[in-house]
Structure 1
Amino acid sequence: MATLTPDEKRPRVSDSPTELIPGLQDPTSDHDEAAAAAAAEEEVYSIYTGTARNLIVMTASVAGFFSPLSANIYLPALDTLADELHVSDTMINLTITTYMIFQGLAPAIFGGLADTAGRRPAYILCFTIYIAANIGLALQRNYAALLVLRCLQSTGSSSTIAIANAIVADIVTPAERGLYIGYGSAGSVFGPSLGPIIGGLLTQFLGWPSIFWFLVIFAAVFFLPLLFFLPETARKVVGNGSHPAPPWNLSFLQLCKRSKSTTPGTTTVQNRITFPNPLKTLIILSDKEVFLILLGNSLAFAGYYAASTSITSQFSAIYHFNEVQIGLCFIPVGVGSLIAAYTQGQIANWNYRRHARRSGMSISTTRGQNMDEFPLERARTEVILPLILIEGLALIAYGWVLHYETNLAGPLILLLCIGYTSGATMNIMSVLMVDIYPESPATATGANNLTRCWLGAVATGVIVPMIEGMGRGWAFTVIGFLCFLCGPVIGVVWGWGHAWRRERHRREKERN
Structure 2
Amino acid sequence: MGSSTTPPPIAKETFKTGTDLPSWHKFVILFTVSFMCLAATFSSTCLYPATPEIAAEFGTTAEHINVTNAGVLLAMGSSSFIWAPIARTLGRRTAYNSAIAVLFLCSIGTALSINMAMFTAMRVLAGFQGTFNMVAGQTIIADIFDPRRRGTANGFFMVGSNLGPALGPLVGGIIVSFASWRIIFWVQTGMVGFGLALSLFFIPSIAQPHQTNEKPSFKLWAKSQVEMLKVFTLLIYPNVFFADLACGLLAWTQYSLLAAPRHLINPRFDLTSPLVSGLFYIAPGAGFLLGSVAGGRFSDMTLAKKTIERGGKRVPQDRLNSGLIAFFFIVPASQLIYGWCLQYNVGGLGLAIVAAFFTGAGLMAAFSSLNTYCAEAIPEQRTAVIASKYFIQYIFGASGNAAIVPLIDSIGIGLAATIGVVLCITGGVLVWTLAKHGGAMRAFIDAKLGHSVDTDDEK
> If the length of structure 2 is used for normalisation, what is the TM-score?
0.87
- Please name the residue that 2:293 is paired with: 342
Specify the code of the residue in structure 2 equivalent to 1:289: N
SS in 2 for 1:360: coil
Q: State the match for 2:425 in structure 1.
A: 484
Q: Is structure 2 residue 319 aligned with structure 1 residue 380?
A: yes
In the TM superposition, what are the counterparts of 1:153-168 in structure 2 within 5 Å? 153-168=126-141
> Within 2, Cα distance between the matches of 1:360 and 1:118?
40
Q: Which residue of 1 aligns with 2:108?
A: 135
Equivalent-residue separation in structure 2 for 1:511 and 1:315 (angstroms): 51
2:37 equivalent to 1:64: yes
Change (3 A) 1:55 1:481: same
Matches within 5 A, 1:194-343: 194-236=167-209, 275-277=224-226, 278-319=228-269, 320-343=271-294
Q: Distance in 1 between matches of 2:334 and 2:156?
A: 26
Which of 339, 348, 360 is 1:399 aligned to? 339
What residue in structure 2 maps to residue 502 of structure 1? 443
2:336 is matched by which residue type in structure 1?
I
Tell me how far apart the structure 2 counterparts of residues 48 and 315 of structure 1 sit (CA, whole Å): 48
Aligned residues: 436
The 3 A distance-change label for structure 1 pair 458 and 47 is same
For the pair 1:101 / 2:55, whether they are aligned, the reply is: no
What corresponds to 2:22 in structure 1? 49
Residues 49-98 of structure 1: CA distance to partner in whole angstroms, max 9, x if unpaired? 32121112111111211221111222111121122223233222102211
Is contact 2:80-2:131 (8 Å) kept? yes
The aligned amino acid for 1:453 is Y
Query: C-alpha separation between the residues in 2 aligned to 1:388 and 1:116?
Result: 40
Tell me by how many angstroms 1:117 deviates: 4.5
The residue number in structure 1 matching 2:54 is 81
Q: Is the 8 A contact 2:8 2:211 kept in 1?
A: no
Are 1:108 and 1:447, in contact at CA under 8 Å, matched by a contact in 2?
no
Q: Which has the larger radius of gyration?
A: 1
Deviation at 1:393, TM superposition (A): 2.4
Residue identity matched to 2:239? E
Q: CA deviation at 1:105?
A: 1.0
Alpha-carbon separation, structure 2, partners of 1:440 and 1:110:
16
| Residues in 2 aligned to 1:342 and 1:283: alpha-carbon distance in whole angstroms | 32
- Sort the Cα spacing of 1:50 and 1:238 in 2 relative to 1 into closer, same or farther, 3 A: farther
Matched, 1:152 2:125: yes
Whichever residue aligns with residue 103 of structure 1, its letter is M
Q: Output one character per residue of 1:266-305: Cα deviation in whole Å (capped at 9) or x when no partner.
A: xxxxxx8753344132122232221111112211221111
Contact 1:93 1:461 in 2 (8 A): yes
1:435 to 376, 389, 412: 376
Q: Is the 8 A contact 1:301 1:426 kept in 2?
A: no
Compared with structure 1, are the counterparts of its residues 246 and 169 closer, same or farther at alpha carbon in structure 2 (3 Å cutoff)? farther
Q: For 1:220-251, what per-residue CA distance to the aligned partner results, in whole angstroms no more than 9, with x for missing partners?
A: 23313321332112432799xxxxx9999xxx
CA distance in 2, matches of 1:489, 1:75: 32
Checking the alignment, whether the CA contact within 8 Å between 1:161 and 1:185 is kept in structure 2 is no
Report deviation, 1:349: 0.9
The structure-2 alpha-carbon separation of the partners of 1:235 and 1:484, relative to structure 1 and needing over 3 Å to count, comes to: same
Equivalent-residue separation in structure 1 for 2:386 and 2:355 (angstroms) = 28
Pairwise mapping of residues 448-459 of structure 1 onto structure 2 (< 5 A)? 448-459=389-400
Once the two structures are aligned, what percentage of the paired residues are identical? 23
TM-score, length-scaled by structure 1: 0.79
Query: Aligned match of 1:177 in 144, 150, 156?
Result: 150
1-side partners of 2:9 and 2:183: how far apart? 53
CA change 1:502–1:511 in 2 (3 A) is closer
> What is the alpha-carbon distance in structure 1 between the residues aligned to residue 175 and residue 410 of structure 2?
33
Structure 1 portions without partners, runs of 5+: 5-14, 18-40, 240-244, 249-271, 363-373
Distance 1:77 1:297 in 2: 28
Please tell me whether the aligned partners of residues 133 and 152 of structure 1 are also in contact (alpha carbons under 8 angstroms): yes
Mapped to 2, the partners of 1:196 and 1:316 lie a distance apart of 14
Does the CA contact (< 8 Å) of 1:107 and 1:158 recur in 2? yes
> Would you say the 8 A contact 2:77–2:395 is kept in 1?
yes
Question: Which amino acid in structure 2 is aligned with residue 460 of structure 1?
Answer: N
Give the counterpart letter for 1:291 in structure 2: F
1:235 aligns to what SS in structure 2?
A: coil
AA at the equivalent of 2:426 = L
Amino acid at match of 2:236: S
Q: Choose between structure 1 and 2: higher helix proportion.
A: 2
Distance 1:489 1:94 in 2: 30
Deviation track 1:345-404 (CA, whole Å, cap 9, x = no partner) reads: 111111111121122227xxxxxxxxxxx4321x12211111112212222221112212
- What is the CA distance between 1:169 and its match in structure 2? 0.8
Q: Does 1:409 align with 2:341?
A: no
Q: Is 1:493 matched up with 2:434?
A: yes
- The structural deviation recorded for 1:130 is 0.8
SS in 1 for 2:348: coil
Distance 1:443 1:246 in 2: 21
Output the CA distance in 2 between the equivalents of 1:380 and 1:116: 34
2: CA distance, partners of 1:477 / 1:197 = 26
